[in-house]
Amino acid sequence: MSETYDFLFKFLVIGSAGTGKSCLLHQFIENKFKQDSNHTIGVEFGSRVVNVGGKTVKLQIWDTAGQERFRSVTRSYYRGAAGALLVYDITSRETYNALTNWLTDARTLASPNIVIILCGNKKDLDADREVTFLEASRFAQENELMFLETSALTGENVEEGFLKCARIILNKIDSGELDPERMGSGIQYGDASLRQLRQPRGNTTQNKQQCNC
């Protein structure tokens, strides 16, 4: 009846207009490039169940419009996101320069713990490159982001981007850094977690307390 998964993660895809956010999502979900993509209106939604480190995780992905006029609408979707793909276009310095703003938005509005992966999209257009891999990876390092260059056209690194983000969140859950039971964590247990996670509820809180020591 309902599909089974261990966890559900709420993801965001953010970044300036025209960087290929919707195409990344489409590639991830449909495994093909989205021709004639238009500007997203408001926020779009997609989901896919993936397997990460032996766990099934349902990714609930909110693909936001990059256009300024939708900014206040899209912001209202940020809260409670566990992970985000922050997308810029390697052929457009403007979209790269805007990253700081997007990042501040995400960290203040979503959650300070949000796991963000920086995606330099349109890797296939290397000839028109305006942002080098090096400077972007330096930016990522300074801001504690993971970094990948992706191509929604060829599909290169697209899956990796989403999966990497999910994997880090899972690690944080295992280490107790993230508590799925906390409200607004952007994480929910799925049906399947019943079988693997039969430990009493007290355990998780204990873990957390140990971490805090």
Partner 1 sequence: MMERAMEQLNVHLSRLTRSLRRARTVELPEDNETAVYTLMPMVMADQHRSVSELLLNSKFDVNYAFGRVKRSLLHIAANCGSVECLVLLLKRGANPNYQDISGCTPLHLAARNGQKKCMGKLLEYNADVNICNNEGLTAIHWLAVNGRTELLHDLVQHVTNVDVEDAMGQTALHVACQNGHKTTVLCLLDSGADINRPNVSGATPLYFACSHGQRDTAQILLSRGAKYIADKNGITPLDLCVQGGYGETCEILIQHHGRLFQTLIQMTQNDDIKENMLRQVMEHVSQQSDSHYQRILTSLAEVATTNGHKLLSLSSSYEAQMKSLLRIVRIFCHVFRLGPSSPNNGNDMGYNGNKTPRSQVFKMCVRQMDVETIQKDGCSWTGSPFLDPLELLWHSLDEWLVLISTELDRNRKNPSSSSTSSSEIASLLLKQREVDHSGSTPKLPSSLDRQIVMETEAYADGEDVISMTASRLSAVIQAFYMCCSCQMPQGMTSPRFIEFVCKHDEVLKCFVTRNPKIIFNHFHFLLECPELMSRFMHIIKGQPFKDRCEWFYEHLLAGQPDSDMVHRPVNENDILLIHRDSIFRSSCEMVSKSTNEKLKQGIAVRFHGEEGMGQGVVREWFDILSNEIINPDYALFTQSADGTTFQPNSNSSVNPDHLNYFQFAGQILGLALYHRQLVNIYFTRSFYKHILGIPVNYQDVSSIDPEYAKNLQWILDNDISDLGLELTFSVETDVFGAMEEVPLKPGGISILVTQDNKAEYVQLVTELRMTRAIQPQINAFLQGFHTFIPPSLIQLFDEYELELLLSGMPEIDVQDWCRNTEYTSGYDPQEPVIQWFWQVVRSLTQEERVLALQFVTGSSRVPHGGFAYLMGGSGLQKFTIAAVPYTSNLLPTSSTCINMLKLPEYPSQEVLRDRLLVALHCGSYGYTMA
For position 32 contacting partner 1 by CB under 8 A, the verdict is: no
CA distance 180 to 172: 10
Interacting stretch for partner 1, rule CB under 8 A, among 82-90, 95-103, 126-134, 186-194? 186-194
**36 near partner 1 (CB under 8 A):** yes
Q: How far is CA 32 from CA 35, 86, 156, 207, in A?
A: 9, 20, 11, 42
Q: Report helix, strand or coil for 166.
A: helix
193 binds partner 1 (CB under 8 A): yes
CB of 163 to partner 1, least distance (A): 16
Q: How far is CA 81 from CA 110, 116, 185, in A?
A: 6, 10, 7
Distance CA 50, CA 40 (A): 25
Strands 146-149 and 55-64, how do they pair? unpaired
Q: Is there binding between residue 70 and partner 1 (CB under 8 A)?
A: yes
Among 16, 19, 40, 121, binds partner 1 (CB under 8 A): 40
> By three-state DSSP, how is residue 185 classified?
coil
* Min separation Cβ 130 and partner 1, Å: 25
Can residue 183 be called a binding residue for partner 1 (CB under 8 A)? yes
Distance (Å) of CA 212 to CA 83, 107, 137, 192: 23, 22, 31, 29
Among 60, 113, 143, 207, binds partner 1 (CB under 8 A): 60
| Residue 29 binds to partner 1 (criterion: CB under 8 A) | yes
162 binds partner 1 (CB under 8 A): no
33 counts as binding partner 1 under rule CB under 8 A: no
- Quick check: 82 and 169 in contact, CB under 8 A? yes
Contact flag: residue 26 with partner 1 (CB under 8 A):
yes
Q: Which two tokens stand for residue 137?
A: 């990876």
Does 22 sit near partner 1 (CB under 8 A)? Answer: yes
19 binds partner 1 (CB under 8 A): no
**Where on the chain is the footprint of partner 1 (CB under 8 A)?**
1-3, 22, 25-26, 29-30, 34-49, 58, 60, 62, 67, 69-70, 72-73, 75-77, 79-80, 183, 188-191, 193-194, 197, 201
